Copies of this chain bind each other. A is one copy, B any other.
Amino acid sequence: MKVGFVGLGSMGRGMARNLLRAGHDVTVYNRTRSRAEELAREGAKVAATPAETASGEVVITMLADDHALEDVLLGSGDLLARLRPDQIHVSMSTISVELSRNLVEAHRRHGTGYVSAPVFGRPEAAEAAKLFIVAAGPTALLAKCDPLFSAMGQKTFILGEDPPVANVLKLSGNFLIVATIECLGEAFALVRKYGMDPQQYLEIITSSFFSAPFQKIYGGIIAQQKYEPAGFSLRLGAKDVRLILAAADTANVPMPVASVLHDRFLTGISRGMGEKDWSAIAQLQAESAGLK
């Protein structure tokens, strides 16, 4: 399939590469052009502007935040204006429910297709085509995108026809992950204060009940206090927590643990930890318990 791909960050790169590997005809755009050129060696065409990616059946966006997507689509990138009625925009990055709702309307007015398909997985999973994809949008469009999803992920969940619902699910999932990090931070601080070895603690809980892979990954980072380099930065984590609270606020859902997380991330940023891994909120917890 002829596909445009905008945004070659740590996630986007692996995803675009897997589209190429699956034999798709991919035109890539990235603000820092060198990253696009790396992929050219693997067969990608390089676009000079976001709008130039709009030549195929589908354009995928995988951008850092709402602002970047708005700029590419509606602002200086001018992508939406270039899309034709038979083309589909697939938004795969973590954006606000509100922007996703606005995109439904923008595409409706413009007559183009819109699919929301955020993903779960860290960069390694993106590279290995092991992402979990949560997709929502008109059934016919989802069917058309299916081969692309299969090339990038290990499983696609179809959530229905209303795109923003996929964004709610993605945000709720990120909440469960980052809340788990917070809870691990509290638990580790407690057991360390009682003299337990963090590595042994980690082995016990993850080899018994706390056995999901992401629990082992974050437990490992916290046990070793290895918050750099960041897999996903605290600064971006703060953004996600804001999006979660914004979605909750709109629906009038009090989320006390999300509020705790919000306070943690603001503290982290205020203390200059924005570029550490987002699991460094566990370091804040340790410090508040007088550790290290």
Name A's B-contacting residues (CB within 8 A). Answer: 97, 120, 132, 134, 155, 157, 159, 162, 164-165, 168-169, 171-173, 175-177, 179-180, 182-184, 186-187, 189-191, 193-196, 200-201, 204-205, 207-215, 242, 244, 247-249, 251-260, 262-264, 266-267, 269-272, 285, 288-290
Contacts and interface: CB of A to CB of B under 8 A. Distances in A.
A136 B220 CA distance: 23
B180 A196 contact: no
Contact of A186 (B200, B210, B211, B256): B256
Shortest beta-carbon contacts, A-B, top 5: A270-B290, A259-B259, A254-B263, A193-B251, A132-B208
Contact of A270 (B179, B207, B264, B288): B288
Contacts of A256: 186, 256, 259-260, 263
A204 to B, nearest CB: 5
Contacts of A165: 194-196
A169 B191 contact: yes
Given A196-B169, A257-B260, A258-B186, A120 B208 contact: yes
Contacts of A172: 187, 190-191, 201
Contact residues of A: prevailing secondary structure: helix
Given A262-B259, A270-B288, A249 B242 contact: yes
Given A175-B186, A270-B290, A288-B267, A207 B252 contact: no
A262 B255 CA distance: 9
Residue from A179, A252, A285 whose CB has the most chain B CB atoms within 10 Å: A252
Contacts of A164: 194
Given A169-B191, A177-B209, A271-B288, 4 more contacts: A169-B201, A190-B244, A269-B290, A270-B288
A163 to B, nearest CB: 12
B270 A289 contact: yes
B155 A207 contact: yes
Contacts of A196: 159, 165, 168-169
A120 B201 CA distance: 14
A247 B193 CA distance: 10
Contact of A190 (B194, B207, B247): B247
A286 to B, nearest CB: 9
